[in-house]
Structure 1
Amino acid sequence: MTRIGIVGAGAAAAAATYALEETIDDASVTVLEKSRGVCGRAATRRHDGVVYDYGANYIKSDDDRVVDLLTETLDTDGLVDIEEPIWTFDRDGTVSEGRDADEHKWTYRRGLTQLAKRLFARTDATVHRETRVERLIRETGDGTSTPQWRLEDDDGESWGPFDVLCLNPPAPQTADLLRSAAWDADLRPRLVEAIEAVPYRTVWTGVLHYPFELETPYYALVNTDKAHEIGWIAREECKPGHVPVGESVLIVQANHDWSVDHYDADPESNLDELAAMTADVLDDDRLANPDWTDYQGWRYAQPEGQVREEPIRAAEDANCYCLGDWVAGEPRVHAAVGNGLNVAERIARSR
């Protein structure tokens, strides 16, 4: 039996878990996730009959393997495509026609988190939620046995041993785990240094609901010059099944600088400010007064660079694999899924 421990239940981990059980006959996968949900920043909430993706907004069709996974392998019931295009706005709030509307922008009627749920459901993996891993332990044995990994959570419980370890948290959290790991290896400081060097964008997100429909020709607006306090405004009602007829929900993501400055500020004040700026960009005063709101701060929202490959691959010689969008070097759900599939292939080849 090949025992595999995975820290984090994001999109990359879900894809890797599925692929590992497909390619390794005797794989036994245990996933430890600190939160109550799965799929990481591809997250979904529900409120008053509304479904909304408040982190990542959709899955692009930029990887043929991911396209096949969504449209051929997984159940397509409830898979929906956003038909409206993405337009742009600049630092002055001037809106212009933007991106090509022909590319697929997929989610699910029940929300984007369905991606990980459906992948895990096709496996025999055990997923333990609300289990925060605090320490990694490399057990070298007596010199005759193969070294293995153990994990300790914040309640002091030990998990393992595992023949293979996969790390799916954002790069800064992965670096923290490796920095404090009981792993006597010359590689470890170099690996930590490489992972720490990955820059991240912080995003504070507001969810704004209105008891009326908006009439615009686009699904979302993206700030292309990165000079506006808002980076992204998306209309959740463009996703079939998400918002009841006659209502609107806007997902408003602030830019990095604003998010850092306001991260620990009063949420209601942040929401008021975002609503006012949204009303200005969309030139609709009604939007300054949503009838209900929600919010989420993402301290490690999107990697803005790729980790150096050499130390990551060197760690794989010790059966320690890093995976996620920060390893792929592209802050997109399809990139995370593709990276999870790649990592699973390398693990399978090493068995």
Structure 2
Amino acid sequence: MAHIGIVGAGVAGAGAAYALRETAHDMTLLEKSRGVGGRAATRRRNDCRYDHGANYVKDADDRTLDLLHELGEEGLVDVEEPVWTFGVDGQIEPSNRQESHKFTWTAGITQLAKRLLAETDAEVRKTTRAASLARDDEGETWTVTDTDGDEHGPFDALLLTPPAPQTADLLAATEWVDDDGALDELHEAVAATEFRTIRTLVLHYDFAVDRPWYAAVDVDKEHDVGWVAREECKDGHVPDGESLLIVQMGPEWSTEHYDDPLEEAADAVAGRVADLVGDDRLTDPDWVDDQGWRYALPDTSLDPDADAVDPAADAGLYLAGDWVAGEGRVHRALWNGVEVGERVGDSL
């Protein structure tokens, strides 16, 4: 029986564990935060639940739809209102894109990772931030050292699922003797993957914002606001008669204002949202929240033909995530995790 280590309990890591659930292998997930799900995250405040990173799971294909139902019908929410679009002129209008189902749960999108992991016997070690990796001198197992200096392992196979910049940092802090140059090549390929920064602002109002859309997205990629969504469109998220807006600012604005104090950033964002939505009342939310996603979405993907990917896998070191799959979508991270998890299982 092998011991498999997975760094990160986001959707890709949870998907990998789910793929390995019927094997006899032990699994340990090392997660830096206090919860699971990564960017598919949910918070609770003042009787509201809100998905402040990834907003929903798209029904990209039958296997995604089937899996969501297999994980349990209870609490599954399909957002019925459409996604509209706007451009640099700020005119929100119906989209000509084909609408798809948009799934979350009454308890929030973090349920995806929670329900995947609930189907496994994996151990999840939370608040454990991986700092370095090491391949043993015999070239058989891996260990992970966290920021507190504690070691985890040994692992017969190790899967890294953090965003590419954080994975690159881990590879830079890896000891792998006799790697024949594969480590440097792998690090170079991962470090070349680019991510965009997103700052999310959460704006709550004690009145209902009545609009025919669930969300509006900037299709020109030139507006300060990249996405605004009405969380009250999700059953069980916002009390009746209230509104909660999830506002994801564009990468340029987010990078420039990433460290601005919350109240200052919220004032600026609320003004932009009021102009965009056409409602001056939105300049004055009654409470606000935020989350900075330094590595929110991949702009490029890992080169699947990178010379070091296969040698690393031969040594029991694997990579997974939306940046490996090539698209910043929840379902892409999920299925890439599942596919790499299956590959790990087949190799042991």
Shorter-chain-normalised TM-score: which range? over 0.9
- Which stretches in structure 2 are left out of the alignment for 5+ residues? none
Equivalences for 1:214-225 in 2 at 5 Å?
A: 214-225=209-220
Residue 248 of structure 1: which of 234, 243, 246 is its match? 243
Aligned ranges 1:3-14 → 2 under 5 Å: 3-14=3-14
Alignment partner, residue 16 of structure 1? 16
The 2-side partners of 1:312 and 1:247 are apart by: 49
The more displaced of 329-338 and 176-185 is 176-185
SS at match of 2:21: helix
- Contact kept in structure 2, 1:85 and 1:100, CA below 8 Å: no
Secondary structure of 1:17's aligned partner: helix
Give, as a single letter, the amino acid of the residue that structure 2 aligns with 1:225: D
RMSD: 1.1
Residue 190 of structure 1: which of 181, 185, 193 is its match? Answer: 185
Please state whether the residue corresponding to 1:271 is helix, strand or coil: helix
Measured after TM superposition, the shift of residue 100 of structure 1 is 4.4
TM-score by length of 2: 0.97
How does 1:98-113 map onto structure 2 within 5 Å?
Answer: 98-100=95-97, 102-113=99-110
Structure 1 match to 2:202: 207
Task: From 168, 171, 175, give the equivalent of 2:168.
Answer: 175
SS in 2 for 1:159: strand
Structure-2 residue corresponding to 1:271: 266
> For residues 236-282 of structure 1, what are the alpha-carbon distances to aligned partners after superposition, in whole Å with 9 as ceiling and x for unaligned?
00111111100000000110000000011222111110000000000
TM-superposed deviation, 1:99: 5.0
Conserved 8 A contact 1:63-1:338: no
Q: Which amino acid aligns with 1:159?
A: H
> 1:268-347, aligned counterparts within 5 Å?
268-310=263-305, 311-347=308-344
The correspondence of residues 64-213 of structure 1 with structure 2, limited to 5 A, is 64-71=62-69, 73-100=70-97, 102-141=99-138, 147-184=140-177, 185=179, 186-213=181-208
Structure 1 residue 75: Cα displacement? 1.3
- For residues 75-131 of structure 1, give each alpha carbon's deviation from its aligned partner in whole angstroms, at most 9, with x where no partner exists: 121011000100011112111111546411000000000111111111111001001
List alignment gaps of at least 5 residues for structure 1: none
Which residue identity is paired with 1:157?
A: D
What one-letter code is carried by the residue in structure 2 that aligns with 1:175? A
Counterpart amino acid of residue 39 in structure 1: G
Shift of 1:215: 1.0
Identity over aligned pairs, percent: 53
* 8 Å Cα contact 2:262/2:289 also seen in 1: no
Matched position secondary structure for 1:306: coil
Q: Is the 8 A contact 1:321 1:343 kept in 2?
A: yes
Which runs of 4 or more aligned residues in structure 1 lie more than 4 Å from their structure 2 counterparts after TM superposition?
none
Corresponding pairs, count: 344
Where does residue 27 of structure 2 map in the other structure? 29
